[in-house]
Chain A
């Protein structure tokens, strides 16, 4: 069964304390892995797309990496405004672009 698992469920960091979020997947025919940020009461906001193992994307304090079985979202020197839930999704092969989402990691960054 196609599955996406994110860990940890919740992460509390001090401002400036770098860390990583994990997204592991068991799907056949991966056609893209996506990271989103979701603030309370809002829709998910697109961050990155990764397509092949070894690929990396960066945006401000965030860097996403991809291997054959998992992706990491690295957060360097986070700030309180980075607090949000981060969602990972994978696009299946042979579909109409349908995504399977993980349950998310809730990140809290304290000043």
Chain B
């Protein structure tokens, strides 16, 4: 298994509170991604990073921010959580080298916003 951990694995929080999810990798891969997965939808990209301090928005970025201060860590922050952000969040990594475009996923974080 690719060395990817996510923390916390489960979290219950209240509407309006800030939440930060952490993704940590030990593979030294350049690219890191945050997705959310909801019933009736495929995995949807929230934000991604193509290097330290280099990030960009994905398909569903509203209400989320990210930071990457080290190669191994990618943080996802919900500044003020809403019930619509209840979801399972997955982090993924990719080395992005030619012929190696596959992404490897972490175990996920189940977030419930009450």
Task: Please report A residues at the B interface, Cβ cutoff 8 Å.
Answer: 4, 31-32, 34, 36, 41-46, 49, 87, 89, 91, 96-104
Contact = CB atoms under 8 A, between A and B. Distances in A.
B79 interface: no
Contact of B96 (A34, A42, A97, A101): A97
A101 B42 contact: yes
Contact of A103 (B31, B41, B56, B103): B41
A97 B107 contact: no
B79 to A, nearest CB: 23
B43 A46 contact: no
A36 B41 CA distance: 16
B50 A96 contact: yes
Given A96-B31, A96-B48, A98-B58, A44 B90 contact: yes
A4 B107 contact: no
Among B33, B42, B90, B96, the most chain A Cβ lie within 10 Å of the Cβ of B42
A54 B41 CA distance: 29
Contact of B45 (A36, A42, A49, A98): A98
13 contacts: A4-B42, A31-B101, A43-B106, A43-B107, A44-B43, A44-B105, A49-B102, A87-B42, A89-B43, A96-B31, A99-B45, A99-B103, A100-B42
Contacts of A44: 43, 90, 105
